[in-house]
Amino acid sequence: MRLKLDLHSIYSSSRAIDESLHAIMDEAIEKHAESVEIIPGKGSGQLKKSVFRFLEKTYKGRYSRIEKDDKNFGRIFVHFNWHKLS
């Protein structure tokens, strides 16, 4: 299972962004998803940096790795390896 979160519509509300990130990450952990695709968009890159900081601060150790999409600058993948994380 792969989950997806598009932040385009809430980019200007840090509270809504945090709530959405919490919700998608908690769902991924609960359902043992393979990955979460987060779309902060291209823009200036500030939202993308903020997503990285949020994941590092709040969920470090709960995912196996984060991957920047080399073909689309505005997309991040959070991967889980449940065998290693268990």
Domain containing 76 equals 2-85
Number of domains in the chain: 1
CB 77 within 8 A of CB 36: yes
Distances (CA, A) of 8 to 31, 57, 80: 25, 22, 24
Phi, psi of 55 (to 5 degrees): -60, -45
Among residues 9, 8, 5, 12, the alpha carbon closest in space to that of 27 is found at 5
User: The CATH number of the domain where 47 resides is what?
Assistant: 3.30.1370.110
Q: What is the pLDDT along the chain (86 residues), one digit of tens a residue?
A: 999 999 988 888 889 999 999 999 999 999 999 999 999 988 778 999 999 999 999 999 999 999 998 888 889 999 998 876 55
For the entire predicted model, the pTM comes to: 0.89
Residue with structure tokens 């919700």? 23
| Distance in angstroms (rounded) separating the CA atoms of residues 7 and 49 | 13
